[in-house]
Amino acid sequence: MTTIDLPPDPDAGKSPEQRGRTLAEDLRRSIGHCRAWQGQLAAVDVVLRQARTAGYRVDAKPDAAAERMRWFRSLEDWLSGKLSQLGALQPGLGTRADQACEPDPPAAVQNEPGDKWFEPPVRLSQRALRVVVPAEPPPEVASAVDVLIRAWRDAQQIDDALHSLQDRWELFQALMEDIDTSYRAWRPFLLRFVRARALQLGLSQTDVDPEGVVQDAFVATLPRWAELDDPKAYLFVVARRLVGRAVPDAAIRASAGTEDLLLGAETHWRWNSLSPNSDAETVRVARAVVAAIAQLPERQRIVSYLGFVQGWSGPQIAAYLECPASTVRANLHLVRSKFYSIWFARAGAPELALRTRRRRRAALLRRAIPLAGVLSLTAAGVAFADGWWRIAVAATVTACVGMRVALGWLPLSTWEAWSAWFHWLRNSCTRGQRNRP
């Protein structure tokens, strides 16, 4: 993180947005201040030139007003540039030079009781210019000289105030750069932390949006960013609290009954992707499927959602994820196996797992029956032929094929028996833990 080594911040306690708005207002006010002084000095320069032409004595340099005008014009250009840079750092502030507001009269012009802000003086009449010298200058000349002197004094005060404005600008620029750098550096770590914390609490992405949590954590930290010694630690604390706040809402959604989901109660989680005529069993199985998908690893979760929920094909998923189609098929097969063997039975749909086992047996029988018929015909043909050697060959072939079928059936039956025993043992342990006082 960038170390900010600048004078004390006059805007301490304000958020970056408030800092930017305050700084933009001060810059616009200063620009209007400079424009007002340029208008006054232009009028003063006209009055003094006319006075010198008429032969009056003026206690000021001939180019004093023009020099001050150039100084205020350069200051206005500098302030306009800073205002444009501020708009680039924090868009939406309306930081344009032509939006400069009309300022209040400068403090140096209001330093005497009853004194008013100098307005452009009237043009000297020809009669006033023909006054024989020596004579006392007209009031306009004295007022112009007085305004010129005050412009010099106010310029000195503005020059001193510019140091504070420059410090505020540097502080704001360093703060925005530090926030941008920190966001780019810490965002991936915060995302992984939020996902891990949500998984630890049993929350899915339906309950917690990791990207939204990261954004909310930064928004909550911005007002105190300049005051924090370690903003990174504070960000992780805020993200942890935001994830924890989603637990009660997730519990309410999980406790919502099936009838509430079907009736579409506003206070519970609704299924709007199912048809209006979906029954309670369909809603229950759909909730089990989505809950199972939420517990998968990231790649399998994306593949299963696109394949099972959105109905994408394997090539479409492979093109979207930029991976081989074989990888997509392997992930889909792995997820489907997990669903059939574990999650559906645990989610309260054992009939679906039983239906799957029956489907596997039927597929095996469909493969075995044609093979058995062919082997039977072959064995009958060889048996009725002459020669014991043919009978021996037919018996050997039949035995080999039968052994192959038996070996194909035996692992499947063993796997199903082991799976049933494993589920029974796990359910027994779970019931024992629940009944334990």
Model pLDDT, residue 347: 47
Confirm whether 36 is domain-assigned.
Answer: yes
Tokens representing 211 are: 């990207």
> Which residues have a Cβ under 8 Å from the Cβ of 186 and sit 6 or more positions away?
232, 235
Confirm whether 293 is domain-assigned.
Answer: no
Mean of the pLDDT values across residues 59-63? 60
Q: What does the mean pLDDT of the chain come to?
A: 65
From the CB of residue 117, how many other CB atoms can be counted at a distance below 10 Å? 12
Query: Percentage of residues in the chain with pLDDT exceeding 90?
Result: 0
Provide the residue range defining the domain that includes 105: 16-173
Least confident of 36-50, 172-186, 217-231: 36-50
Model pLDDT, residue 189: 87
DSSP string for residues in 48-84? HHHHHHHT---SS-TTHHHHHHHHHHHHHHHHHHHHH
173, 200, 221 - which closes a domain: 173
pLDDT surpasses 70 at 196: yes
From the CB of residue 259, how many other CB atoms can be counted at a distance below 10 Å? 10
Confirm whether 25 is domain-assigned.
Answer: yes
Model pLDDT, residue 363: 63
At residue 332 the predicted structure's pLDDT band, cuts being 50, 70 and 90, is confident
pLDDT surpasses 70 at 3: no
At residue 330 the predicted structure's pLDDT band, cuts being 50, 70 and 90, is confident
Confirm whether 269 is domain-assigned.
Answer: no
Distance from C-alpha of 80 to C-alpha of 70, rounded to nearest angstrom: 15
Model pLDDT, residue 160: 61
Model pLDDT, residue 32: 75
- The answer to whether 37 and 151 have CB atoms below 8 angstroms apart is yes
Model pLDDT, residue 121: 33
> Which amino acid is it at 140?
E
> Based on the number of CB atoms within 10 Å of its own CB, is 61 exposed (0-12), middle (13-18) or buried (19 or more)?
exposed
126, 144, 173 - which closes a domain: 173
Confirm whether 23 is domain-assigned.
Answer: yes
Range ranked top by mean pLDDT from 20-34, 96-110, 235-249, 262-276: 235-249
Determine the distance from the C-alpha atom of residue 56 to the mean position of all C-alpha atoms in its chain, rounded to a whole number. Answer: 70
Model pLDDT, residue 6: 40
For residues 359 and 273, the model is more confident at 359
Q: Is the dihedral of CA 311, 313, 317, 319 positive or negative?
A: negative
Model pLDDT, residue 28: 75
From the CB of residue 109, how many other CB atoms can be counted at a distance below 10 Å? 21
Mean of the pLDDT values across residues 24-48? 72
Model pLDDT, residue 402: 61
Model pLDDT, residue 369: 60
pLDDT surpasses 70 at 164: no
At residue 76 the predicted structure's pLDDT band, cuts being 50, 70 and 90, is confident
pLDDT surpasses 70 at 64: no
Confirm whether 193 is domain-assigned.
Answer: no
> Structurally, how many domains does the chain consist of?
2
For residues 355 and 22, the model is more confident at 22
Model pLDDT, residue 108: 36
Mean of the pLDDT values across residues 356-360? 63
Confirm whether 53 is domain-assigned.
Answer: yes
Reduced to 3 states, what is the DSSP secondary structure of residue 204? coil
Nearest to 250 by CA among 301, 193, 202: 202
For residues 60 and 271, the model is more confident at 60
Distance from C-alpha of 203 to C-alpha of 252, rounded to nearest angstrom: 12
Distance from C-alpha of 405 to C-alpha of 388, rounded to nearest angstrom: 26
Mean of the pLDDT values across residues 215-230? 80
> Based on the number of CB atoms within 10 Å of its own CB, is 337 exposed (0-12), middle (13-18) or buried (19 or more)?
exposed
> In the 8-state DSSP scheme, what is residue 98?
G
Range ranked top by mean pLDDT from 156-160, 291-295, 311-315, 396-400: 311-315
pLDDT surpasses 60 at 86: yes
pLDDT surpasses 60 at 7: no
For residues 319 and 249, the model is more confident at 319
pTM for this structure? 0.37
pLDDT surpasses 60 at 433: no
At residue 381 the predicted structure's pLDDT band, cuts being 50, 70 and 90, is low
Confirm whether 270 is domain-assigned.
Answer: no
- The answer to whether 353 and 344 have CB atoms below 8 angstroms apart is yes
173, 204, 236 - which closes a domain: 173
